[in-house]
Amino acid sequence: MQRQRTWIWASTTLALALGCPAGDDADIVDDGGESDDGDDDDESDGEGEGEAGETTTDDGPADTTGDPTTEPGDGSESTDGADPCDACDPLAACDAGVCACPAGYDGDGTVCTDIDECADGTAGCHAEATCTNEPGSFVCECDDGWVGDGMQCEAASSCADDPCDAHATCTDEPPGYSCACEAGWSGNGFDCSDVDECANGTAGCDEHATCTDLDGSFDCECDDGFAGNGFSCTGTAGYGEACVDPAVCASGLCIGAPYDHCSELCNQAIANDCPNVGASGFCVPIGMDEFACVGELDTGLDDDDDILASGDSATRTLGTLTDADLFHLDLPAGSFVILVEPDPDDDVELGLYDNIGQTIGILDDGQDGAIEGAVLDTGGGVVFAVVRNAGNSTGSYTISVAPE
């Protein structure tokens, strides 16, 4: 039979678990494994006799100590397991657990900082060279006009030494050479910088263009709503489009209130000249001997339009249901009777407009054959009359102008 050994506190616990009676007569086992008056030869239910302070069981032979914090097989190896090289800076080398920064860097190995040899003066570049710091190193490069490796530089002697700036032209002039910056660049030829023509105002872009500086050059591009090469830009807004600034109009002409739209110049001596200049509406005066088209007016495809003076009359035909004819009434100051008499089976409408094309009145009684007419008071000059087909048939009519 195999035995399992356990410390005496386990036997004490066992005795209590078996319900040993409490009191003075109870045998309490002490640390020595002996009772005050017990018999060492007492048997235990047929079990083999154990040593003093021991109990025997049928369990396996594994031994345990009384230290509950000690696990079987616990060795002396370190539980830390950290590699000291893990603390090194990524740039550092590690040898036998010691971190060391590489050449060109300063620090304790756990932190490595680049040494700026150009700033601390340890680079040793030539006086005519430019020092450029790089991570862990530096570069010396001879200045324009000098040749060498940067540590040693000598004055260039000809264009073959490529002494000039990249944006300069070199010219051999024995026994030496000369450097001149290219157009769009400024400097002494050894050091050339871009000229910002947009900033210094020498680009010459149109006022309605955007200037963009480029290396050695610039670009002018017309703004939205304008067309051209950037040096000359014109508006693209056509007749009738809203405007405040005449520059936005393709014609360069903006008519103010009450129209506020782009216009075209016209000749008032020609009846209904606006369609001839790509516009529509009425040809009204805008200044000394200048006239421009305003408003919208569709007079159809025929050329029945005319200029009438006091005492004149004209007979015209309305060829379609939407046809209309425009008349310039060139009258002196006074009162005049304007009459339009259609064929008996036709209905016409008479519209009268003042010298700037604003409505005076629209006349139509809605009956076939009805004469439309009005008395017009004018201060002199051209006013306008428009005769429109207002019925469901086509035919002719007669318009007349007479003093009241």
Query: pLDDT tens across 278-326, in order?
Result: 999 999 999 889 999 999 998 877 788 999 999 999 999 999 999 999 9
Q: Identify the CATH number of the domain in which residue 230 sits.
A: 2.10.25.10
Does 155 fall in a domain?
no
| Residue-wise pLDDT tens digits, 205-239 | 999 999 999 999 999 999 999 999 999 999 999 99
Q: What is the pLDDT of residue 15?
A: 32
Does 108 fall in a domain?
no
Q: What is the pLDDT of residue 14?
A: 30
Contact yes or no for 11/38 (Cβ under 8 A): no
258 prior amide bond cis, ω within 30: yes
Beta strands in 39-151 (DSSP E): 93-95, 98-100, 105-107, 112-114, 129-134, 137-142, 146-148
Q: What is the pLDDT of residue 145?
A: 82
Does 120 fall in a domain?
no
Does 267 fall in a domain?
no
Does 165 fall in a domain?
no
Domain end (from 20, 40, 63): 63
C-alpha span between 51 and 142 (Å, rounded): 97
C-alpha span between 141 and 148 (Å, rounded): 8
Does residue 232 share a domain with residue 320? no
Residue 373: Cβ-neighbour burial (10 angstroms; 0-12, 13-18, 19+):
middle
Q: Which residue has the tokens 């032209």?
A: 169
Q: What is the pLDDT of residue 190?
A: 92
Q: 382 CB contacts (<8 Å, ≥6 apart)?
A: 268, 328, 329, 330, 331, 355
C-alpha span between 294 and 359 (Å, rounded): 13
| Residue-wise pLDDT tens digits, 344-364 | 999 999 999 999 999 999 999
Q: What is the pLDDT of residue 68?
A: 42
Contact yes or no for 205/219 (Cβ under 8 A): no
Domain end (from 196, 220, 236): 236
pTM (two decimals)? 0.55
Q: How far is CA 375 from CA 333, 339, 341, in A?
A: 13, 9, 15
Q: What is the pLDDT of residue 80?
A: 62
Domain end (from 32, 47, 63): 63
Q: Residue 140 pLDDT > 60, yes or no?
A: yes
Q: Residue 107 pLDDT > 60, yes or no?
A: yes
Count of other CB atoms within 10 angstroms of residue 215: 10
| Residue-wise pLDDT tens digits, 4-22 | 332 223 333 333 233 333 3
Does 191 fall in a domain?
yes
Does 37 fall in a domain?
yes
The partner residues of 353 in beta bridges, in order of sequence, read: 359, 384
Handedness of CA 332, 335, 341, 347 (dihedral sign): positive
Domain that holds residue 223: 171-236
Structural domain count, the chain: 3
Residue 147: Cβ-neighbour burial (10 angstroms; 0-12, 13-18, 19+):
middle
Contact yes or no for 294/358 (Cβ under 8 A): no
Does 284 fall in a domain?
no
Does residue 398 share a domain with residue 319? yes
Q: Identify the CATH number of the domain in which residue 329 sits.
A: 2.60.120.380
Q: Residue 337 pLDDT > 70, yes or no?
A: yes
DSSP string, 9-37: HHHHHHHHHTTPPPSTTS----TTS--SS
